[in-house]
Amino acid sequence: MAASVLLVATVAYADTDDEKSGVKRRQQGILTGMPFMAHVSERAYVDDAGRRMYFAKPPARIVSLAPSITEMLFAMEAGDQLVGVTDFCDYPPEASKKPKVGYSNPNMELLVALQPDLVVAPNDFLKPDIIAKLEQLKIPVFILGDKNVEGIFVHIQTLGRIVGRSQKADAVAMQLRQQVAAVQQRIHGMTPVRMLYVLNSQPLITVGPGSFIDQLIGMAGGINIAAKSATPYPRLSLEAVLQEDPEVLVFPVGKAEGISESEQQTWRQWSTMTAVKRNRLHQISADWLNRPGPRIAKGLESLANILHPDSSPDSRTER
């Protein structure tokens, strides 16, 4: 189809002055069809759900529906544009002070009352009916997926352009790429270590191909024992784990999510497992590794130090 007849979702924003009160009121975003022309391409974006949007100007009122997205926006110094976040958005500390709208099933009444110009949401948790409802209310939704590490950096840069913080976002993405490259260079040539990442204990859920954490395991010098799984977040049987015999067990820990100390200790009963015999059961910050945001480089470094403790600058595993 010719470019001149392609239709894009256009998001128009405007401020109007209330003549009686003198108070500026923001009009709701309006989605209309318009021809996609080359001269608007710099402001046209395609999200990870394949939906194209055009922003006439940077949105001033943003609602984030994932902790990782909130961290991205704060990292590019766009925190003042955030008017709503999830119940789990706790970093940086300023995020905790923002109005809360829920998480995978947000409170629509609260969300709409915040009058957002834009809602940024994760691809995995937001229900289709929520997206449909927001679009019906003329509130644009930009969807982000989290399939690979480079995609995280691209998301930061894309959001930076959308919200008018491109220069800062590009700098953040560049710094993260440099940190990742430094970790990979440090462990280059080291023998990979078989490991299991225990995302959940009961049932036992881990990470597999198609998840960014699976990619991080390889980048940190590990071999994911669930690498043959058919899904990004597979369930494993204990028999399968014992057969693969991981050398290292890694447990995410944190305030909002993670594996409890008591659940971690139950793994010690499997005394034939190499990880147990070598006492290589380790904790890692769930916020660093599980959130596909700007702290992912810290997560990679921490994981590399766990798998290859002799490679760390001070030869000390981060906890």
CATH assignment of the domain containing 120: 3.40.50.1980
Do 111 and 203 lie in a common domain? no
253 residue type, one letter: V
Residue 175 lies in a domain: no
pLDDT of residue 62: 98
Bridge partner residues of 266 (DSSP)? none
Does 235 share its domain with 137? no
Cα–Cα distance measured from residue 278 to residue 118, given in angstroms and rounded to the nearest whole number = 50
Pairing state between β 52-55 and 44-46: antiparallel
Q: pLDDT tens digits, residue range 233-287?
A: 999 999 999 999 999 999 999 987 899 999 999 999 999 999 999 999 999 999 9
Query: What six digits make up the tokens of 310?
Result: 């002799």
- Asked if residue 123 and residue 25 are part of one domain, the reply reads yes
Last residue in a domain, options 145, 179, 207: 145
Is-contact 191 225, C-beta < 8 A? Answer: no
What is the number of structural domains in the chain? 2
46 in Cβ contact with 37 (< 8 Å): no
pLDDT, one tens digit per residue, over 148-163 is 999 999 999 999 999 9
Asked if the structure places residue 177 within a domain, the reply is no
Which tens digit of pLDDT belongs to each residue from 291-313?
999 999 999 999 999 999 987 66
* 72-82 core/surface letters (b: 16 or more CB in 10 A; e: else): bbbbbebbebb
The DSSP symbol for 286 reads H
24 plus 140 within the same structural domain:
yes
Is there a domain that residue 154 lies in?
no
Residue 28 shares a structural domain with residue 131: yes
pLDDT computed for residue 255 by the predictor: 86
Tokens of 173: 């993405």
Residues 130 and 259 in one domain: no
Is 160 among the domain residues? no
Q: Does the N-terminal peptide bond of residue 106 adopt cis geometry, omega within 30 degrees of 0?
A: no
pLDDT band, very low/low/confident/very high, at 40 (cuts 50, 70, 90): very low
The reply to whether 37 and 125 lie within a common domain is yes
Asked, for residue 178, whether it belongs to a domain, the answer is no
Do the beta carbons of residue 229 and residue 208 sit within 8 Å?
A: yes
Q: What is the mean pLDDT of residues 114-127?
A: 90
Examine the pLDDT at 314 and tell me if it is beyond 70: no
> Is residue 7 in a domain?
yes
Distance CA 50, CA 303 (A): 33
Tens digits of residue pLDDT in 68-120? 999 999 999 999 999 999 999 999 999 999 999 998 889 999 999 999 999 99
Same domain, 141 and 200: no
Identify whether the C-beta of residue 264 lies closer than 8 Å to the C-beta of residue 241.
no
Domain span at residue 285 reads: 189-311
User: Which candidate, 307, 302, 301, 303, places its Cα nearest to that of 275?
Assistant: 307
Sign of CA dihedral 207, 197, 206, 89: negative
Q: In what order do the strands lie in the sheet with 82-84?
A: 82-84, 62-64, 118-122, 141-144
Residue 168 domain-assigned (yes or no): no
Question: Whose CA is closest to 121, among 153, 159, 150, 148?
Answer: 159
Quick check: 23 pLDDT over 70?
A: no
- On whether both 141 and 193 belong to a single domain, the answer is no
- Assigned domain for 82 exists: yes
Entry pTM: 0.83
